[in-house]
Structure 1
Amino acid sequence: MKDAFGAPQSLLILGGTSEIGLATARRLITRRTRTVFLAGRPCEQLEAAAESLRTIGALVTTVPFDALDPASHEVALGKVFTEGDVDMVLLAFGVLGDQARDEQDPLAAVHVTQVNYTGAVSAALVSAAALQAQGHGSLVVLSSVAAERPRRANFIYGSSKAGLDAFCQGLSDAMHGSGVHVMTVRPGFVHTRMTEGRPATPLASTPDEVAAAIELGLRRRSTTIWVPGTLRLVMAAVRHLPRPVFRRLPV
Protein backbone atom coordinates (compact mmCIF):
# COMPACT_ATOMS: atom_id res chain seq x y z
CA MET A 1 0.00 0.00 0.00
CA LYS A 2 1.06 3.61 -0.52
CA ASP A 3 2.26 5.42 2.57
CA ALA A 4 0.57 8.43 4.15
CA PHE A 5 2.28 10.72 1.64
CA GLY A 6 1.11 8.74 -1.38
CA ALA A 7 4.51 7.19 -2.11
CA PRO A 8 4.24 3.69 -3.59
CA GLN A 9 5.93 0.85 -1.77
CA SER A 10 5.81 -1.44 -4.81
CA LEU A 11 6.41 -0.50 -8.44
CA LEU A 12 6.06 -2.26 -11.78
CA ILE A 13 7.85 -0.66 -14.74
CA LEU A 14 6.75 -1.75 -18.20
CA GLY A 15 9.83 -1.01 -20.25
CA GLY A 16 12.36 -1.95 -17.61
CA THR A 17 15.35 -0.38 -19.35
CA SER A 18 13.68 3.00 -19.88
CA GLU A 19 15.87 5.82 -18.61
CA ILE A 20 12.84 7.75 -17.42
CA GLY A 21 11.45 4.62 -15.78
CA LEU A 22 14.72 3.90 -13.96
CA ALA A 23 15.12 7.54 -12.88
CA THR A 24 11.62 7.36 -11.42
CA ALA A 25 12.43 4.11 -9.65
CA ARG A 26 15.60 5.56 -8.12
CA ARG A 27 13.73 8.60 -6.89
CA LEU A 28 10.93 6.53 -5.35
CA ILE A 29 13.36 4.07 -3.77
CA THR A 30 14.92 6.96 -1.83
CA ARG A 31 11.42 7.52 -0.39
CA ARG A 32 9.47 4.36 0.45
CA THR A 33 9.52 2.04 -2.57
CA ARG A 34 11.09 -1.29 -1.69
CA THR A 35 9.77 -3.77 -4.26
CA VAL A 36 10.37 -3.18 -7.97
CA PHE A 37 9.45 -5.30 -10.99
CA LEU A 38 11.24 -4.49 -14.24
CA ALA A 39 9.31 -5.86 -17.20
CA GLY A 40 10.99 -6.12 -20.59
CA ARG A 41 12.60 -8.41 -23.09
CA PRO A 42 15.24 -10.55 -21.33
CA CYS A 43 18.65 -9.06 -22.04
CA GLU A 44 21.86 -8.00 -20.32
CA GLN A 45 20.67 -4.41 -20.17
CA LEU A 46 17.55 -5.40 -18.22
CA GLU A 47 19.62 -7.41 -15.73
CA ALA A 48 22.07 -4.52 -15.34
CA ALA A 49 19.19 -2.14 -14.64
CA ALA A 50 17.85 -4.49 -11.98
CA GLU A 51 21.25 -4.78 -10.33
CA SER A 52 21.66 -0.99 -10.28
CA LEU A 53 18.43 -0.68 -8.29
CA ARG A 54 19.39 -3.49 -5.92
CA THR A 55 22.53 -1.58 -4.95
CA ILE A 56 20.37 1.23 -3.56
CA GLY A 57 18.21 -1.02 -1.44
CA ALA A 58 15.34 -2.32 -3.58
CA LEU A 59 14.16 -5.88 -3.97
CA VAL A 60 14.10 -6.17 -7.77
CA THR A 61 12.63 -8.88 -10.00
CA THR A 62 12.86 -8.94 -13.78
CA VAL A 63 9.76 -10.00 -15.72
CA PRO A 64 9.74 -11.20 -19.35
CA PHE A 65 7.48 -8.82 -21.28
CA ASP A 66 7.10 -8.00 -24.97
CA ALA A 67 5.05 -4.97 -25.97
CA LEU A 68 4.61 -6.49 -29.45
CA ASP A 69 2.93 -9.62 -28.08
CA PRO A 70 -0.36 -8.43 -26.57
CA ALA A 71 -1.64 -12.00 -26.35
CA SER A 72 0.96 -12.66 -23.64
CA HIS A 73 0.31 -9.56 -21.54
CA GLU A 74 -2.43 -10.91 -19.30
CA VAL A 75 -0.37 -13.93 -18.26
CA ALA A 76 2.95 -12.08 -17.99
CA LEU A 77 1.60 -9.21 -15.91
CA GLY A 78 -0.80 -11.41 -13.99
CA LYS A 79 2.17 -13.25 -12.51
CA VAL A 80 3.40 -9.99 -11.01
CA PHE A 81 0.09 -9.23 -9.33
CA THR A 82 -0.07 -12.73 -7.85
CA GLU A 83 3.06 -11.79 -5.87
CA GLY A 84 1.06 -9.19 -3.97
CA ASP A 85 -0.43 -5.74 -4.40
CA VAL A 86 1.30 -3.35 -6.79
CA ASP A 87 0.98 0.31 -5.80
CA MET A 88 2.12 1.80 -9.10
CA VAL A 89 2.49 0.69 -12.70
CA LEU A 90 4.64 2.90 -14.91
CA LEU A 91 4.15 2.33 -18.64
CA ALA A 92 7.45 3.59 -19.98
CA PHE A 93 8.13 1.69 -23.19
CA GLY A 94 8.05 3.26 -26.64
CA VAL A 95 10.03 3.86 -29.81
CA LEU A 96 10.73 7.09 -31.64
CA GLY A 97 11.30 5.64 -35.09
CA ASP A 98 12.87 7.45 -38.02
CA GLN A 99 10.29 9.65 -39.73
CA ALA A 100 12.03 9.95 -43.11
CA ARG A 101 12.71 6.21 -43.33
CA ASP A 102 9.35 5.15 -41.92
CA GLU A 103 7.41 7.23 -44.46
CA GLN A 104 9.03 5.10 -47.16
CA ASP A 105 8.56 1.82 -45.30
CA PRO A 106 4.97 1.21 -44.15
CA LEU A 107 5.99 -1.83 -42.11
CA ALA A 108 8.47 0.28 -40.13
CA ALA A 109 5.75 2.87 -39.53
CA VAL A 110 3.38 0.14 -38.37
CA HIS A 111 6.06 -1.10 -35.96
CA VAL A 112 6.14 2.34 -34.28
CA THR A 113 2.36 2.39 -33.89
CA GLN A 114 2.22 -1.21 -32.65
CA VAL A 115 4.71 -0.54 -29.88
CA ASN A 116 3.53 2.94 -28.89
CA TYR A 117 -0.21 2.44 -29.24
CA THR A 118 -1.41 -1.15 -29.67
CA GLY A 119 1.02 -2.65 -27.20
CA ALA A 120 0.48 0.18 -24.74
CA VAL A 121 -3.31 -0.10 -24.91
CA SER A 122 -3.11 -3.82 -24.17
CA ALA A 123 -0.66 -3.42 -21.28
CA ALA A 124 -2.61 -0.48 -19.82
CA LEU A 125 -5.93 -2.34 -19.87
CA VAL A 126 -4.42 -5.43 -18.25
CA SER A 127 -2.71 -3.29 -15.59
CA ALA A 128 -5.80 -1.16 -14.91
CA ALA A 129 -7.95 -4.26 -14.45
CA ALA A 130 -5.45 -5.75 -12.00
CA LEU A 131 -5.23 -2.50 -10.04
CA GLN A 132 -9.03 -2.28 -9.97
CA ALA A 133 -9.28 -5.87 -8.69
CA GLN A 134 -6.98 -5.05 -5.77
CA GLY A 135 -8.90 -1.81 -5.14
CA HIS A 136 -6.08 0.72 -5.32
CA GLY A 137 -3.00 1.87 -7.21
CA SER A 138 -1.74 4.28 -9.83
CA LEU A 139 -1.20 3.70 -13.53
CA VAL A 140 1.25 6.26 -14.92
CA VAL A 141 1.61 6.39 -18.70
CA LEU A 142 4.37 8.21 -20.59
CA SER A 143 2.76 10.08 -23.46
CA SER A 144 4.45 13.04 -25.16
CA VAL A 145 3.98 16.68 -25.97
CA ALA A 146 3.96 15.41 -29.56
CA ALA A 147 0.49 14.02 -28.88
CA GLU A 148 -0.99 17.51 -28.72
CA ARG A 149 -0.39 18.36 -32.39
CA PRO A 150 1.69 15.95 -34.47
CA ARG A 151 4.31 17.80 -36.52
CA ARG A 152 5.46 17.21 -40.07
CA ALA A 153 8.84 16.14 -38.72
CA ASN A 154 7.46 13.30 -36.57
CA PHE A 155 3.80 12.72 -37.35
CA ILE A 156 4.08 8.92 -37.25
CA TYR A 157 5.44 8.96 -33.70
CA GLY A 158 3.19 11.89 -32.79
CA SER A 159 0.05 10.20 -34.04
CA SER A 160 0.83 7.04 -32.08
CA LYS A 161 1.23 9.10 -28.91
CA ALA A 162 -1.92 11.11 -29.72
CA GLY A 163 -3.89 7.87 -29.84
CA LEU A 164 -2.37 6.67 -26.57
CA ASP A 165 -2.97 10.02 -24.91
CA ALA A 166 -6.66 10.03 -25.89
CA PHE A 167 -6.97 6.44 -24.69
CA CYS A 168 -5.48 7.33 -21.30
CA GLN A 169 -7.80 10.29 -20.83
CA GLY A 170 -10.75 7.97 -21.39
CA LEU A 171 -9.29 5.26 -19.18
CA SER A 172 -8.85 7.81 -16.39
CA ASP A 173 -12.53 8.67 -16.62
CA ALA A 174 -13.50 4.99 -16.72
CA MET A 175 -11.45 4.28 -13.57
CA HIS A 176 -12.82 7.27 -11.64
CA GLY A 177 -14.26 6.13 -8.33
CA SER A 178 -12.67 2.66 -8.56
CA GLY A 179 -9.64 3.46 -6.43
CA VAL A 180 -7.38 3.44 -9.50
CA HIS A 181 -5.55 6.66 -10.34
CA VAL A 182 -4.52 7.09 -13.99
CA MET A 183 -1.97 9.80 -14.78
CA THR A 184 -0.78 10.81 -18.25
CA VAL A 185 2.71 12.33 -18.51
CA ARG A 186 3.49 14.66 -21.42
CA PRO A 187 7.21 15.40 -21.56
CA GLY A 188 8.80 17.51 -24.25
CA PHE A 189 12.24 16.62 -25.60
CA VAL A 190 14.06 14.46 -23.03
CA HIS A 191 17.81 13.83 -23.17
CA THR A 192 17.94 10.02 -23.42
CA ARG A 193 19.53 7.35 -25.59
CA MET A 194 16.44 7.50 -27.80
CA THR A 195 17.01 11.17 -28.64
CA GLU A 196 20.80 11.04 -28.74
CA GLY A 197 22.17 12.80 -31.81
CA ARG A 198 18.98 14.76 -32.40
CA PRO A 199 18.94 18.52 -31.90
CA ALA A 200 17.29 19.41 -28.59
CA THR A 201 14.21 21.60 -28.70
CA PRO A 202 13.57 24.48 -26.29
CA LEU A 203 12.38 23.45 -22.82
CA ALA A 204 14.20 20.12 -23.02
CA SER A 205 14.41 18.09 -19.81
CA THR A 206 16.26 15.14 -18.31
CA PRO A 207 14.97 11.77 -17.05
CA ASP A 208 15.51 12.97 -13.47
CA GLU A 209 13.35 16.03 -14.09
CA VAL A 210 10.57 13.87 -15.52
CA ALA A 211 10.88 11.56 -12.50
CA ALA A 212 10.52 14.52 -10.12
CA ALA A 213 7.39 15.66 -11.96
CA ILE A 214 5.93 12.15 -11.76
CA GLU A 215 6.52 12.01 -8.01
CA LEU A 216 4.82 15.38 -7.54
CA GLY A 217 1.93 14.32 -9.75
CA LEU A 218 1.45 11.19 -7.64
CA ARG A 219 1.25 13.25 -4.47
CA ARG A 220 -1.26 15.61 -6.04
CA ARG A 221 -3.26 12.81 -7.69
CA SER A 222 -2.93 14.66 -10.99
CA THR A 223 -4.51 13.19 -14.10
CA THR A 224 -2.23 14.94 -16.61
CA ILE A 225 1.19 16.52 -16.11
CA TRP A 226 3.52 18.38 -18.47
CA VAL A 227 7.32 18.34 -18.22
CA PRO A 228 8.32 21.08 -17.89
CA GLY A 229 5.06 22.67 -16.79
CA THR A 230 5.57 25.65 -19.10
CA LEU A 231 4.77 23.36 -22.04
CA ARG A 232 1.12 23.41 -21.05
CA LEU A 233 0.88 27.06 -22.12
CA VAL A 234 3.14 26.67 -25.15
CA MET A 235 1.15 23.77 -26.56
CA ALA A 236 -2.16 25.47 -25.86
CA ALA A 237 -1.02 28.18 -28.25
CA VAL A 238 0.42 25.74 -30.80
CA ARG A 239 -2.73 23.64 -30.77
CA HIS A 240 -4.85 26.59 -31.86
CA LEU A 241 -2.59 27.96 -34.58
CA PRO A 242 -4.30 28.07 -37.99
CA ARG A 243 -2.99 25.28 -40.22
CA PRO A 244 -1.42 27.64 -42.81
CA VAL A 245 0.58 29.28 -39.99
CA PHE A 246 1.49 25.94 -38.39
CA ARG A 247 2.80 24.62 -41.71
CA ARG A 248 5.27 27.48 -41.95
CA LEU A 249 6.82 26.75 -38.58
CA PRO A 250 10.27 25.09 -38.65
CA VAL A 251 9.04 22.00 -36.82
Structure 2
Amino acid sequence: MKDAFGAPQSLLILGGTSEIGLATARRLVTRRTRTVFLAGRPSEGLEAAAESLRSIGAEVHTVAFDALDTGSHEVVLGKVFAEGDIDMVLLAFGVLGDQARDEQEPPAAVQVAQVNYTGAVSASLVCAAALQTQGHGSLVVLSSVAGERARRANFIYGSSKAGLDAFCQGLADAMHGSGVHVMTVRPGFVRTRMTAGLPAAPLATTPGEVAAAIELGLRRRSTTIWVPGALRVVMAGIRHLPRPLFRRLPV
Protein backbone atom coordinates (compact mmCIF):
# COMPACT_ATOMS: atom_id res chain seq x y z
CA MET A 1 0.00 0.00 0.00
CA LYS A 2 1.26 3.50 -0.79
CA ASP A 3 2.24 5.45 2.30
CA ALA A 4 0.61 8.64 3.57
CA PHE A 5 2.67 10.66 1.10
CA GLY A 6 1.50 8.61 -1.88
CA ALA A 7 4.90 6.98 -2.38
CA PRO A 8 4.83 3.31 -3.49
CA GLN A 9 6.25 0.83 -1.01
CA SER A 10 6.41 -1.99 -3.57
CA LEU A 11 7.49 -1.75 -7.19
CA LEU A 12 7.47 -4.12 -10.17
CA ILE A 13 9.65 -3.17 -13.14
CA LEU A 14 8.98 -4.94 -16.42
CA GLY A 15 12.30 -4.60 -18.19
CA GLY A 16 14.50 -5.06 -15.15
CA THR A 17 17.72 -3.84 -16.75
CA SER A 18 16.19 -0.66 -18.19
CA GLU A 19 18.29 2.38 -17.28
CA ILE A 20 15.18 4.50 -16.87
CA GLY A 21 13.55 1.79 -14.81
CA LEU A 22 16.55 1.44 -12.51
CA ALA A 23 16.94 5.20 -12.14
CA THR A 24 13.29 5.34 -11.09
CA ALA A 25 13.77 2.47 -8.65
CA ARG A 26 16.82 4.11 -7.07
CA ARG A 27 14.93 7.36 -6.65
CA LEU A 28 11.92 5.65 -5.07
CA VAL A 29 14.03 3.41 -2.82
CA THR A 30 15.74 6.47 -1.35
CA ARG A 31 12.23 7.65 -0.47
CA ARG A 32 9.99 4.88 0.88
CA THR A 33 9.95 1.97 -1.59
CA ARG A 34 11.09 -1.18 0.20
CA THR A 35 10.32 -4.11 -2.12
CA VAL A 36 11.30 -4.26 -5.80
CA PHE A 37 10.63 -6.96 -8.37
CA LEU A 38 12.86 -6.81 -11.45
CA ALA A 39 11.31 -8.76 -14.32
CA GLY A 40 13.39 -9.57 -17.38
CA ARG A 41 15.29 -12.25 -19.20
CA PRO A 42 17.68 -14.00 -16.78
CA SER A 43 21.15 -12.54 -17.24
CA GLU A 44 24.19 -11.24 -15.39
CA GLY A 45 22.87 -7.76 -16.08
CA LEU A 46 19.59 -8.49 -14.30
CA GLU A 47 21.42 -9.87 -11.27
CA ALA A 48 23.76 -6.87 -11.21
CA ALA A 49 20.77 -4.54 -11.31
CA ALA A 50 19.24 -6.37 -8.36
CA GLU A 51 22.46 -6.13 -6.36
CA SER A 52 22.72 -2.40 -7.06
CA LEU A 53 19.30 -1.86 -5.48
CA ARG A 54 20.01 -4.18 -2.56
CA SER A 55 23.09 -2.10 -1.80
CA ILE A 56 20.86 0.90 -1.06
CA GLY A 57 18.50 -1.00 1.19
CA ALA A 58 15.82 -2.53 -1.03
CA GLU A 59 14.50 -6.07 -0.82
CA VAL A 60 14.87 -7.18 -4.45
CA HIS A 61 13.50 -10.22 -6.27
CA THR A 62 14.28 -11.12 -9.88
CA VAL A 63 11.58 -12.58 -12.11
CA ALA A 64 12.14 -14.45 -15.39
CA PHE A 65 10.01 -12.52 -17.89
CA ASP A 66 10.03 -12.37 -21.69
CA ALA A 67 8.00 -9.63 -23.39
CA LEU A 68 7.71 -11.77 -26.53
CA ASP A 69 6.31 -14.79 -24.67
CA THR A 70 2.85 -13.30 -24.20
CA GLY A 71 1.37 -16.71 -23.41
CA SER A 72 3.35 -16.79 -20.15
CA HIS A 73 2.47 -13.31 -18.91
CA GLU A 74 -0.58 -14.20 -16.84
CA VAL A 75 1.23 -16.98 -15.00
CA VAL A 76 4.55 -15.17 -14.50
CA LEU A 77 3.06 -11.85 -13.41
CA GLY A 78 0.29 -13.55 -11.45
CA LYS A 79 2.95 -15.13 -9.23
CA VAL A 80 4.38 -11.69 -8.47
CA PHE A 81 1.01 -10.30 -7.43
CA ALA A 82 0.39 -13.43 -5.37
CA GLU A 83 3.34 -12.38 -3.18
CA GLY A 84 1.36 -9.35 -1.98
CA ASP A 85 0.03 -6.00 -3.18
CA ILE A 86 2.09 -4.13 -5.77
CA ASP A 87 1.81 -0.35 -5.47
CA MET A 88 3.42 0.50 -8.79
CA VAL A 89 4.19 -1.28 -12.04
CA LEU A 90 6.66 0.38 -14.39
CA LEU A 91 6.60 -0.99 -17.94
CA ALA A 92 10.06 -0.08 -19.15
CA PHE A 93 10.97 -2.63 -21.81
CA GLY A 94 11.33 -1.80 -25.48
CA VAL A 95 13.68 -2.00 -28.45
CA LEU A 96 14.74 0.71 -30.87
CA GLY A 97 15.59 -1.59 -33.75
CA ASP A 98 17.71 -0.68 -36.76
CA GLN A 99 15.51 1.21 -39.20
CA ALA A 100 17.65 0.64 -42.30
CA ARG A 101 17.97 -3.08 -41.65
CA ASP A 102 14.40 -3.54 -40.49
CA GLU A 103 13.01 -2.02 -43.71
CA GLN A 104 14.89 -4.69 -45.63
CA GLU A 105 14.12 -7.51 -43.19
CA PRO A 106 10.39 -7.51 -42.36
CA PRO A 107 10.72 -10.21 -39.64
CA ALA A 108 13.06 -7.86 -37.75
CA ALA A 109 10.55 -5.03 -38.08
CA VAL A 110 7.80 -7.33 -36.82
CA GLN A 111 9.87 -8.17 -33.75
CA VAL A 112 10.19 -4.47 -32.91
CA ALA A 113 6.42 -4.19 -33.11
CA GLN A 114 5.89 -7.34 -31.06
CA VAL A 115 8.13 -6.21 -28.22
CA ASN A 116 7.06 -2.56 -28.13
CA TYR A 117 3.36 -3.03 -28.78
CA THR A 118 2.05 -6.60 -28.53
CA GLY A 119 4.20 -7.54 -25.54
CA ALA A 120 3.44 -4.25 -23.81
CA VAL A 121 -0.31 -4.58 -24.41
CA SER A 122 -0.31 -8.09 -22.97
CA ALA A 123 1.71 -7.20 -19.87
CA SER A 124 -0.27 -3.99 -19.28
CA LEU A 125 -3.62 -5.76 -19.39
CA VAL A 126 -2.44 -8.47 -17.01
CA CYS A 127 -1.04 -5.92 -14.55
CA ALA A 128 -4.02 -3.56 -14.82
CA ALA A 129 -6.39 -6.43 -14.00
CA ALA A 130 -4.28 -7.43 -11.00
CA LEU A 131 -4.12 -3.83 -9.75
CA GLN A 132 -7.88 -3.54 -10.17
CA THR A 133 -8.41 -6.72 -8.16
CA GLN A 134 -6.33 -5.39 -5.28
CA GLY A 135 -8.16 -2.06 -5.58
CA HIS A 136 -5.23 0.32 -5.89
CA GLY A 137 -1.91 0.97 -7.60
CA SER A 138 -0.26 2.76 -10.50
CA LEU A 139 0.69 1.43 -13.93
CA VAL A 140 3.35 3.63 -15.51
CA VAL A 141 4.18 2.96 -19.16
CA LEU A 142 7.17 4.34 -21.03
CA SER A 143 6.04 5.57 -24.43
CA SER A 144 7.98 8.09 -26.54
CA VAL A 145 7.58 11.37 -28.38
CA ALA A 146 8.50 9.29 -31.44
CA GLY A 147 4.92 8.07 -31.35
CA GLU A 148 3.51 11.56 -31.83
CA ARG A 149 4.31 11.65 -35.55
CA ALA A 150 6.12 9.00 -37.55
CA ARG A 151 9.46 10.23 -38.88
CA ARG A 152 11.28 8.84 -41.89
CA ALA A 153 14.28 8.00 -39.75
CA ASN A 154 12.45 5.73 -37.29
CA PHE A 155 8.86 5.15 -38.38
CA ILE A 156 8.91 1.46 -37.42
CA TYR A 157 9.82 2.24 -33.81
CA GLY A 158 7.64 5.36 -33.84
CA SER A 159 4.58 3.51 -35.09
CA SER A 160 4.95 0.86 -32.38
CA LYS A 161 5.07 3.59 -29.73
CA ALA A 162 2.13 5.39 -31.32
CA GLY A 163 0.06 2.24 -30.96
CA LEU A 164 1.17 1.75 -27.36
CA ASP A 165 0.45 5.37 -26.52
CA ALA A 166 -3.10 5.16 -27.89
CA PHE A 167 -3.65 1.92 -26.00
CA CYS A 168 -2.50 3.49 -22.73
CA GLN A 169 -4.79 6.49 -23.15
CA GLY A 170 -7.73 4.13 -23.58
CA LEU A 171 -6.63 1.94 -20.68
CA ALA A 172 -6.41 4.99 -18.43
CA ASP A 173 -10.02 5.83 -19.29
CA ALA A 174 -11.10 2.24 -18.76
CA MET A 175 -9.48 2.18 -15.30
CA HIS A 176 -10.90 5.55 -14.25
CA GLY A 177 -12.77 5.21 -10.97
CA SER A 178 -11.36 1.73 -10.25
CA GLY A 179 -8.56 2.88 -7.97
CA VAL A 180 -5.98 2.11 -10.67
CA HIS A 181 -3.89 5.04 -11.92
CA VAL A 182 -2.46 4.69 -15.45
CA MET A 183 0.25 7.14 -16.50
CA THR A 184 1.88 7.40 -19.92
CA VAL A 185 5.42 8.80 -20.04
CA ARG A 186 6.58 10.47 -23.25
CA PRO A 187 10.33 11.10 -23.08
CA GLY A 188 12.28 12.66 -25.90
CA PHE A 189 15.79 11.48 -26.74
CA VAL A 190 17.21 9.81 -23.61
CA ARG A 191 20.95 9.22 -23.27
CA THR A 192 21.07 5.47 -22.61
CA ARG A 193 22.78 2.36 -23.95
CA MET A 194 19.95 2.04 -26.48
CA THR A 195 20.77 5.44 -28.02
CA ALA A 196 24.56 5.19 -27.71
CA GLY A 197 26.23 6.30 -30.92
CA LEU A 198 23.22 8.25 -32.16
CA PRO A 199 23.40 12.04 -32.46
CA ALA A 200 21.55 13.59 -29.53
CA ALA A 201 18.34 15.39 -30.47
CA PRO A 202 17.43 18.83 -29.10
CA LEU A 203 16.05 18.71 -25.54
CA ALA A 204 17.85 15.42 -24.90
CA THR A 205 17.40 14.11 -21.37
CA THR A 206 18.78 11.48 -18.98
CA PRO A 207 17.33 8.47 -17.14
CA GLY A 208 17.59 10.41 -13.89
CA GLU A 209 15.55 13.29 -15.26
CA VAL A 210 12.88 10.90 -16.52
CA ALA A 211 12.81 9.24 -13.09
CA ALA A 212 12.29 12.60 -11.38
CA ALA A 213 9.40 13.39 -13.75
CA ILE A 214 7.82 10.00 -13.06
CA GLU A 215 7.97 10.58 -9.31
CA LEU A 216 6.34 14.00 -9.70
CA GLY A 217 3.69 12.54 -12.01
CA LEU A 218 2.87 9.88 -9.43
CA ARG A 219 2.34 12.50 -6.74
CA ARG A 220 0.10 14.52 -9.04
CA ARG A 221 -1.63 11.40 -10.42
CA SER A 222 -0.98 12.66 -13.93
CA THR A 223 -2.22 10.62 -16.87
CA THR A 224 0.42 11.83 -19.34
CA ILE A 225 3.80 13.44 -18.76
CA TRP A 226 6.42 14.78 -21.17
CA VAL A 227 10.13 14.73 -20.44
CA PRO A 228 11.31 17.42 -20.63
CA GLY A 229 8.05 19.32 -20.28
CA ALA A 230 8.90 21.70 -23.13
CA LEU A 231 8.33 18.83 -25.57
CA ARG A 232 4.60 19.15 -25.05
CA VAL A 233 4.65 22.48 -26.92
CA VAL A 234 7.29 21.43 -29.45
CA MET A 235 5.45 18.26 -30.46
CA ALA A 236 2.12 20.07 -30.66
CA GLY A 237 3.68 22.24 -33.35
CA ILE A 238 5.33 19.35 -35.17
CA ARG A 239 2.15 17.28 -35.07
CA HIS A 240 0.25 19.97 -36.97
CA LEU A 241 2.89 20.86 -39.56
CA PRO A 242 1.71 20.31 -43.14
CA ARG A 243 3.32 17.17 -44.51
CA PRO A 244 5.37 18.93 -47.23
CA LEU A 245 7.00 21.07 -44.52
CA PHE A 246 7.44 18.13 -42.15
CA ARG A 247 9.27 16.15 -44.83
CA ARG A 248 11.83 18.92 -45.15
CA LEU A 249 12.76 18.85 -41.46
CA PRO A 250 16.13 17.21 -40.64
CA VAL A 251 14.51 14.50 -38.52
Give the alignment of 1:25-40 within 5 angstroms.
25-40=25-40
Which secondary structure state, in structure 2, belongs to the residue aligned with residue 84 of structure 1?
Answer: coil
Partner of 1:65: 65
Q: Which runs of 4+ in 1 moved over 4 A?
A: none
CA deviation vs aligned residue, 1:16-58 (integer Å, no higher than 9, x gap)? 0000000000000000000000000001100000000000000
Partner of 2:239: 239
> TM-score normalized by structure 2?
1.00
**1:237 alignment partner AA:** G
Partner of 1:214: 214
Query: Identity over the aligned pairs, expressed in percent?
Result: 87
| Structure 2: gaps spanning 5 or more residues | none
- CA distance in structure 1 between the partners assigned to 2:97 and 2:5 by the alignment: 38
- CA distance in structure 2 between the partners assigned to 1:62 and 1:141 by the alignment: 20
Give the alignment of 1:139-150 within 5 angstroms.
139-150=139-150
The alpha carbon displacement at 1:213 in A equals 0.1
Give the alignment of 1:52-201 within 5 angstroms.
52-201=52-201
- CA distance in structure 1 between the partners assigned to 2:169 and 2:234 by the alignment: 20
- CA distance in structure 1 between the partners assigned to 2:175 and 2:12 by the alignment: 19
| Structure 1: gaps spanning 5 or more residues | none
The alpha carbon displacement at 1:3 in A equals 1.1
**2:192 alignment partner AA:** T
- CA distance in structure 2 between the partners assigned to 1:214 and 1:204 by the alignment: 16
- CA distance in structure 2 between the partners assigned to 1:36 and 1:60 by the alignment: 5
> TM-score normalized by structure 1?
1.00
Which secondary structure state, in structure 1, belongs to the residue aligned with residue 12 of structure 2?
Answer: strand
Which secondary structure state, in structure 1, belongs to the residue aligned with residue 215 of structure 2?
Answer: helix
Partner of 1:42: 42
Which secondary structure state, in structure 1, belongs to the residue aligned with residue 216 of structure 2?
Answer: helix
Which secondary structure state, in structure 2, belongs to the residue aligned with residue 235 of structure 1?
Answer: helix
CA deviation vs aligned residue, 1:159-207 (integer Å, no higher than 9, x gap)? 0000000000000000000000000000000000000000000000000
Alpha-carbon RMSD across the aligned residues, in angstroms, is 0.3
Count how many residue pairs are aligned between Structure 1 and Structure 2.
251
**1:219 alignment partner AA:** R
**2:101 alignment partner AA:** R
